[in-house]
Amino acid sequence: MDKCHRLFEESGALVACCPVQPDLERLLTPEESDSLGASILVVRNQATAARIAARELLRQAGFPDWSLPRRRGLGPAWPPGWIGSISHSAQFGAAALGDCTVVQGIGIDIEPAEPLPEGLRDTVIVAGDIAPAGLCEIGDRILFCAKEAAYKAVHPVDRRFLEFGDVTVNFDTGFADISYGRRLTLSLHVDHRIVVLACLGTNDE
């Protein structure tokens, strides 16, 4: 199984990925472990994988000992001048980190490169959504992933809850448009997983 590694850099943000492995939760800091409370072991391992990915990016940014405990209703606290996002699936944890002088909102989501489960399409997809060309089999899942990432990017900035229909994703243009006027830049990585990064630039109002 591959180790934690930097996956790509786009839109002023770095993205890293770490595989979920047995007993990974032993690598949580005491503060992180306490914040996860009574979460079952599989969830703790997934949360740890995302934090290991984040720590690799933080190490590169000069913060090798930064801890990322869960905060109720909020994402983890990031070092001054930096903004980040974490996500995990059953197989991988992922993280994104950006400089606050470049991005004011950042969101990442990771999903298996598989079709969206039946019954979810009508909830997720709206008129105007355009999936990437050539990826029809998993296009709906990519759109789902992009909407999740977009929500993570704008919610800490605007404190507004969104439905899937409030986010229109267009991979022809590379943007996600929010119903109340925000526009985010999207970056996509697909192999045996789907990773979508959504960024809100500092000049975007």
For residue 9, the domain's CATH number is: 3.90.470.20
pLDDT, average across residues 63-80: 88
**Quick one: 115 and 97 in the same domain?**
no
Report d(CA 112, CA 193) in Å as an integer.
4
pLDDT, average across residues 178-205: 93
pLDDT, average across residues 55-60: 94
Asked whether 175 and 183 are in contact (CB, 8 A), the reply is yes
**Quick one: 166 and 119 in the same domain?**
yes
Q: Of 78, 101, 124, which marks where a domain is finished? A: 101
**Quick one: 59 and 37 in the same domain?**
yes
DSSP state letter for 149:
H
| Predicted confidence (pLDDT) per residue in 109-127, tens digit | 999 999 999 889 999 999 9
Question: What's the number of CA atoms in the CB half-sphere (13 Å) around residue 76?
Answer: 28
Domain span holding position 88: 5-101
Phi-psi region of 75 (alpha: psi -120 to 50; beta: other; left: phi over 0): beta
- CA 39-16-192 angle, to 5 degrees, is 85
**Quick one: 72 and 156 in the same domain?**
no
Residue type, 53: A
- Number of domain units in the chain: 2
pLDDT band at 205 (very low <50, low <70, confident <90, very high): low
**Quick one: 95 and 141 in the same domain?**
no
Q: Of 45, 78, 101, which marks where a domain is finished? A: 101
CATH number of the domain at 141, please: 3.90.470
Residue 117 phi, psi (nearest 5) = -55, 145
**Quick one: 91 and 111 in the same domain?**
no
Report d(CA 21, CA 25) in Å as an integer.
9
| Predicted confidence (pLDDT) per residue in 165-186, tens digit | 999 999 999 999 999 999 999 9
Q: What DSSP line would sit under 29-53, residue for residue?
A: -HHHHHHTTT--HHHHHHHHHHHHH
**Quick one: 94 and 113 in the same domain?**
no
**Quick one: 46 and 62 in the same domain?**
yes
Say yes or no to pLDDT of 7 above 80. Answer: yes
pLDDT, average across residues 139-145: 98
Share of the chain above pLDDT 90, in %: 77
Q: Of 101, 130, 161, which marks where a domain is finished? A: 101
Question: What does the pLDDT read at residue 2?
Answer: 52
pLDDT, average across residues 53-66: 94
Report d(CA 58, CA 183) in Å as an integer.
27
**Quick one: 86 and 133 in the same domain?**
no
pLDDT, average across residues 124-152: 96
Question: What does the pLDDT read at residue 106?
Answer: 97
pLDDT band at 38 (very low <50, low <70, confident <90, very high): confident
Question: What does the pLDDT read at residue 202?
Answer: 86
pLDDT band at 1 (very low <50, low <70, confident <90, very high): very low
